[in-house]
Amino acid sequence: MHHDDSPPAPRPPRRSKLALTLALAVSASAALAGWLAWGAMSGAAESAPPTARPAPGPSASAPSPAAPGPSVAASSVAAPLAGRTVVIDPGHNPGNFKHPREINRLVDIGTNRKECDTTGTSTNSGYTEAAFTLDVSRRLRTLLQEQGATVVLTQDADRPYGPCIDERARIGNTAGADAVVSVHADGSAVGNRGFHVILPAVVKGGAADTSKIVGPSRALGESVAREFARATGSAPANYLGGGTGLDVRKDLGGLNLSTVPKVFVECGNMRDPKDVASLTDAAWRQRAAQGIAAGVRTYLRG
Active site residues: 266
CA dist., res. 183 & res. 173, Å (int): 17
> What are φ and ψ of residue 249, in 5° steps?
-135, 150
The angle that helices 214-232 and 282-301 make with each other, rounded to 10 degrees, is: 140
CA contacts within 13 A on the Cβ side of 197: 28
Q: CA 105, 106, 108, 111: dihedral to nearest 10 degrees?
A: 160
CA dist., res. 277 & res. 117, Å (int): 27
Q: Are 136 and 182 in contact (CB under 8 A)?
A: no
Would you call the peptide bond into 12 cis, given omega within 30 degrees of 0 as the criterion?
A: no
